[in-house]
Chain A
Amino acid sequence: MDLTYSDEERAFRDEVRAFLRDKLPDALSEKVRRRQELSKDDHERWHAILNERGWLAQNWPRAFGGAEWNAVQRHIFEEEAAAANAPRIVPFGVAMLAPVLQKFGSKAQQDHYLPRILNGDDWWCQGYSEPGAGSDLASLNTRAVRQGDHYIVNGQKTWTTLGQHANRIFCLVRTDPDAKQQEGISFLLIDMDSPGIEMRPIVLLDGSPEVNEIFFNDVRVPFENLVGEENKGWTYAKYLLTHERTNIAGVGFALAGLESVKRMAYAERRNGRALIENPHFAARLAQVEIDLMAMETTNLRIISAAAAGQAPGVESSMLKVKGTIIRQEINDLARRAAGPYALPFPSAALAGDNDPVGPDYGDAVAATYFNNRKLSIYGGSNEIQRGIIAKAKLGGGA
């Protein structure tokens, strides 16, 4: 047992910290700190900065031009990046699609798409969920029918995050309606400029146009855009889920969020004293901090096992449930700490260089609270995760 980082890991952290200090533009970190919406340019700018340093493709093997960081290194980066208010890396191309292409894609697909992900030529979005297929993803209905050297795709995808910026989408589509649910699904790459695709924004409860619904009407997709084998798409999707979950606990975000709540609680006054001295507030804050201290260690235990080559199984589900509960509790505390200044609606009047109406730490705390209700819903809801955990531990009896 040794709870300290190795000399190499500490040196790596210093390197990451220096990079963030030198290369993270103030304009971006200020937007993140004030919880403002990032534009497509903002995201692309940050990706380009990371890519220049070779740190965009953190999880890729060196053979594909990646940094090939292990789980501990990625964890350190996530912690430092969150603390520095860096924009999060948009995961769809670099962290989600790329590992699937590297493992199951053709040489031509790898050669064509991987460099375009790194240099920002392509912005990918994810076509998984459908109106009738949420938690029960395998019941998806979007059909792809083979016609010559093309598939003809018909159906609808939804909750497509940042799809408004995307020029490509990777989709799960049904290619064999007669097979057992999971066995008739294929993994298809689709150009968003294809005729027959229509995208509409869905405005979320915090006012953000973060997600979209996408309609496919007789969309022609070249056969060469199939990844791997036909009807094996479910396997590829599951591979993606189990291998890209080191940050599922969101420890970096939680630590940064907790620091931000503390700053607020030291600054806010209640009955002439700092809010942090209010016993009720302090008790809630302390409990979530204690939960987070334990979860940091739970997370490190799991990722150091992953770094040693053990694939995380049910532990990912545990981290997802606990991590999202902790982050949502922190979001709630931030909303309360802001007091009446949680009320202003984050709109154009508050964006950009305009002065905040109250203390700037109160910007959009309530909007963030509402937006992050998604955490326990997406990526397999917490109820789905609990089911996975119970079935793994109760075995056949469950």
Chain B
Amino acid sequence: MNFELTEERRMLQDTLRRFLSKRYDTETRNAILDSESGFSPDIWSDLADLGIIGALFTEAQGGFGGAGFDIAVVFEELGRAGVVEPFLDSAVLGGGLIAALGDTDQQALLAEVIAGHAHLALAHGEPASRYDLSRVETSAGFEDDKIVLNGRKAVVVNAEAAGHLIVTARESGDVDDETGISLFLVPADTAGVTLRGYPMLAGGRAAEITLEDVRLPPSARLGTAGAGFAALSDRVAAANVALAAEVLGAMETAVALTRDYMLTRKQFGRPIASFQALQHRFADLLIELEQARSAVINAAGHLAAAPHERDRQIAAARNLIGRIGRLVAEESIQLHGGIAMTQEYELAHIAKRIVMSDHRLGDTDTHLERFIALSYAQDAR
């Protein structure tokens, strides 16, 4: 049993934390939020040069990390600074899927991602799928030696910046079946791909995507026909570790801001930190923050476990982080008072990152249901 970070990961953490504290202050970030692209290409490329994207991949994949704790360390720091750049989408999900499924030609794109030169987006969710990972209506047919995609994809994060979309489509089976789902690497400028882009509430951009008779060569398929689900759920597991860690980092900032404000803000002639009603609520945040840290450790530590235990641990972590995240976001705003309601104050963005992350890859309730299904199956006993 050992709860210390390795020397390499501590260095990664220090490097990233130092860079972000210097280069990613509130003012800079708020300008990024207002920008047309929704993220900073300069920051992206500098962080790629620092090896932050490489840390999310194994050596065999062209990186130097890729384990659960590498992902957790990086995303905790990204969350701490409220970073909106698309590490989850271009790297963990997009790059991760190419790493898992891509042939030699397709792998070339992964090297571009790690170098910070290419962006990706996973076009998986659909208007009717909510958080159901196996629900895919988008179809992939075959016509004149071409694959033909038809369907709609919903809230595809980072779609506009992506040179390639990774599109899931069904080649066989019923709409909820895990088998029959294929993944395709689709150049964003392919005819029949239409994007309707928009900014998101907590930063970054996404798009609704229409796929209308999108014709692709068979070489666009990632992996084996109809067998994409295992890799998809594997990468989603990694992305869930990343999200949990990101929220942990964001909560650390929320609690630190709240602490500082309680010590400086004076009412009734004394710092509001001296009021017991506020002290006890603050203490609860500190307690729950330690619980959240443990949940991230559990999830990261089980990322390489067998799928059942991995998914059970991850569902547990995201349920806990979802509950604690809401508590920390709401209580931090309440303990601050009016100042936290202003958009330009750091906490506003941090609280939004915390709460809105619960809408990605399964919310608190979805993960609770999943935990129950994985833990209390009647026939499991």
Binding site for B on A (CB under 8 A): 1-6, 9, 72, 262, 266, 274, 276-277, 282-283, 285-287, 289-291, 293-298, 300-301, 304-305, 315, 318, 321-322, 383, 385-387, 389-391, 393-395, 397-398
Closest Cβ of chain B to A254, distance in Å, is: 14
- A311 vs B310: C-alpha distance when bound (angstroms): 33
Q: Are A389 and B287 in contact (CB under 8 A)?
A: yes
Q: Are A1 and B286 in contact (CB under 8 A)?
A: no
Closest Cβ of chain A to B247, distance in Å, is: 14
Q: Are A386 and B297 in contact (CB under 8 A)?
A: no
**B294 is contacted by which of A285, A287, A301, A390 (Cβ under 8 Å)?**
A301
Q: Are B3 and A1 in contact (CB under 8 A)?
A: yes
Q: Are B320 and A398 in contact (CB under 8 A)?
A: no
| Chain A residues within an 8 Å CB radius of B282 | 390, 393-394
15 A-B pairs besides A1-B300, A295-B294, A297-B295 with CB distance below 8 A are: A1-B6, A2-B301, A266-B378, A277-B376, A290-B319, A294-B292, A301-B294, A305-B3, A318-B290, A389-B283, A389-B286, A390-B286, A393-B286, A394-B262, A394-B263
| Chain A residues within an 8 Å CB radius of B291 | 291, 294-295, 298, 322
**B273 is contacted by which of A286, A287, A290, A397 (Cβ under 8 Å)?**
A397
Q: Which of B324-381 contact A (CB under 8 A)?
A: 368, 371-372, 375-376, 378, 381
Q: Are A294 and B298 in contact (CB under 8 A)?
A: yes
- A287 vs B372: C-alpha distance when bound (angstroms): 9
Closest 9 CB pairs of A and B: A390-B279, A297-B294, A386-B283, A397-B263, A389-B283, A397-B273, A3-B301, A294-B294, A386-B280
Q: Judge if B306 is at the interface, Cβ distance under 8 Å.
A: no
Closest Cβ of chain A to B206, distance in Å, is: 29
Binding site for A on B (CB under 8 A): 1-6, 69, 259, 262-263, 271, 273-274, 276, 279-280, 282-284, 286-287, 290-295, 297-298, 300-302, 313, 316-317, 319-320, 323, 368, 371-372, 375-376, 378, 381
Q: Are B1 and A386 in contact (CB under 8 A)?
A: no
Q: Are B284 and A386 in contact (CB under 8 A)?
A: yes
- A295 vs B291: C-alpha distance when bound (angstroms): 6
Majority secondary structure, A binding face: helix
Chain A residue at minimum C-beta to C-beta distance from B276: A387
- A315 vs B286: C-alpha distance when bound (angstroms): 10
Q: Which of A286, A305, A393 has the most CB of B within 10 A?
A: A286
Q: Are A397 and B274 in contact (CB under 8 A)?
A: yes
Majority secondary structure, B binding face: helix
Contact A2:B263 (CB < 8 A) given known A391-B279, A398-B274: no
Q: Are B280 and A390 in contact (CB under 8 A)?
A: yes
**A283 is contacted by which of B320, B372, B378, B381 (Cβ under 8 Å)?**
B372
Q: Are A298 and B4 in contact (CB under 8 A)?
A: no
| Chain B residues within an 8 Å CB radius of A289 | 316, 371, 375
| Chain A residues within an 8 Å CB radius of B372 | 282-283, 286
Closest Cβ of chain B to A309, distance in Å, is: 14
| Chain A residues within an 8 Å CB radius of B323 | 287
| Chain A residues within an 8 Å CB radius of B279 | 386-387, 390-391, 394, 398
Closest Cβ of chain B to A279, distance in Å, is: 8
| Chain B residues within an 8 Å CB radius of A6 | 1
| Chain B residues within an 8 Å CB radius of A72 | 1
Count of inter-chain pairs, beta carbons less than 8 A: 136
Q: Are A297 and B378 in contact (CB under 8 A)?
A: no
Chain A residue at minimum C-beta to C-beta distance from B73: A1
- A293 vs B300: C-alpha distance when bound (angstroms): 14
Q: Are B320 and A290 in contact (CB under 8 A)?
A: yes
**B287 is contacted by which of A4, A300, A318, A394 (Cβ under 8 Å)?**
A318
| Chain B residues within an 8 Å CB radius of A393 | 259, 282-283, 286
Contact sample, A vs B, 18 pairs, CB 8 Å cutoff: A1-B4, A1-B6, A3-B1, A3-B298, A276-B378, A277-B378, A286-B368, A294-B292, A294-B294, A297-B297, A298-B294, A304-B2, A304-B3, A305-B3, A322-B291, A393-B259, A393-B283, A394-B262
Closest Cβ of chain A to B33, distance in Å, is: 30
| Chain A residues within an 8 Å CB radius of B286 | 318, 389-390, 393
| Chain A residues within an 8 Å CB radius of B280 | 383, 386-387, 390
- A295 vs B290: C-alpha distance when bound (angstroms): 9
- A63 vs B317: C-alpha distance when bound (angstroms): 44
Chain A residue at minimum C-beta to C-beta distance from B2: A2
Chain A residue at minimum C-beta to C-beta distance from B284: A386
Chain A residue at minimum C-beta to C-beta distance from B371: A286
Q: Are A5 and B1 in contact (CB under 8 A)?
A: yes
Chain B residue at minimum C-beta to C-beta distance from A262: B376
Q: Are A3 and B273 in contact (CB under 8 A)?
A: no
| Chain B residues within an 8 Å CB radius of A298 | 290-291, 293-294
- A6 vs B297: C-alpha distance when bound (angstroms): 18
- A19 vs B43: C-alpha distance when bound (angstroms): 59
Contact A286:B301 (CB < 8 A) given known A394-B282, A397-B263: no
Q: Are B1 and A2 in contact (CB under 8 A)?
A: yes
